[in-house]
Amino acid sequence: MTPVPFDDRDGTIWLDGSFVPWREARLHVLSHGLHYGGAVFEGVRVYGGRPFKSVEHAERLRDSAREMNYELPYAEAELDAVTREIVRREGIEDGYVRPVAWRGSEQLGVSGAGTFVHVAVAAWEWPHVFADGAQEHGIRLKTSRWRRPAPDTAPVRAKAASLYAIGTLARDEAEAAGYDDALLLDHRGRLAEATGANLFLVVDGELHTPVPDGFLDGITRRTVIALAGELGLTVRVRPIEPAELALADEVFLTGTAYEVQPVSAVDDRAYEVGKTTRRLAEAYGRLVREG
């Protein structure tokens, strides 16, 4: 069955201050954001009809826009209210919200000066990111030949569309090789993250996660670090070399869409879905549904 394309669905999308019919939420082919990769975006998960950490996501969208050298024309509180309203209008129970901002068509030079910043928010039902059973059995990662760029070569702190060009290349190669996702190293060759999630290793019952100095410091990552503290687990945030994967008893990823996602293999090395990962996945599952 061919999936319904994203531009041909029923419903409503919020675009530049108005709620418009889904199919009419369009941008022009000569949009600055399309040509020069200046868009920034967010992904917000909806549980039981409620967006989780919607304000934090709106704040990150603002910060990402600033990293790209522009200001959003809407305040975080407005974007939070729009997120809640679009979820309500679309009747989303378990789903995903995609706020996105980009520069318009006022001029098409490389400079961003003089462009109008557009913002849209769309939402749809999307209960799980990986196939059924992935939460139970884990996913398989392939170390990518693509790396996360150095902080002086790209806006690495932003959730910037331009950075996802690397993610798409890495993910396509990993999937073509029979894996579920790619594991990217940073510019120094240290462990960084997956294409849409942060990385944790469990070593002797302690959590180890890379310093987020060259990739997105995920909202889920921070939430899971706090939950681990509440569960009495030690968390070590430190530079981690790929060779340390050999010392890990468990590996998992965290992200808004991935949630706490167990990893069953990195390249040829297999991992159990262990009790620390399960404890954190359960604690996260409780938090998102019960607050």
H helix or E strand, kind and range, residue 170: helix 164-176
Q: C-alpha distances in angstroms, 222 versus 2, 63, 197, 290?
A: 37, 17, 12, 18
CB of 282 to ligand PMP, least distance (A): 18
Name the β-bridge partners of 139. 263
Tokens of 236: 């070590």
Which residues are known catalytic residues?
A: 159
Q: Residue 202 or residue 225: which is nearer to ligand PMP going by CB?
A: 225
Question: What span, in angstroms and rounded, lies between the C-alpha atoms of 180 and 172?
Answer: 10
Q: Residue 22 or residue 124: which is nearer to ligand PMP going by CB?
A: 124
CB of 287 to ligand PMP, least distance (A): 13
Question: What span, in angstroms and rounded, lies between the C-alpha atoms of 122 and 225?
Answer: 29
Tokens of 88: 């309500």
Which residues contribute to the site for ligand PMP (CB under 6 A)?
43, 159, 193, 196-198, 215-216, 218-221, 254-256
HSE-CB at 123 with a 13 A cutoff on CA atoms is 27
Q: Residue 115 or residue 254: which is nearer to ligand PMP going by CB?
A: 254
CB of 207 to ligand PMP, least distance (A): 15
Query: Angle of helix 219-230 relative to helix 275-290, nearest 10 degrees?
Result: 110
Q: Residue 12 or residue 208: which is nearer to ligand PMP going by CB?
A: 208
Question: What span, in angstroms and rounded, lies between the C-alpha atoms of 273 and 260?
Answer: 11
CB of 28 to ligand PMP, least distance (A): 27
CB of 43 to ligand PMP, least distance (A): 5
Q: Residue 54 or residue 254: which is nearer to ligand PMP going by CB?
A: 254
Q: How far is CA 23 from the centre of its chain?
A: 25
Task: Please tell me the chain's helix, strand, coil percentages from 3-state DSSP, rounded to the nearest 5.
Answer: 30, 30, 40
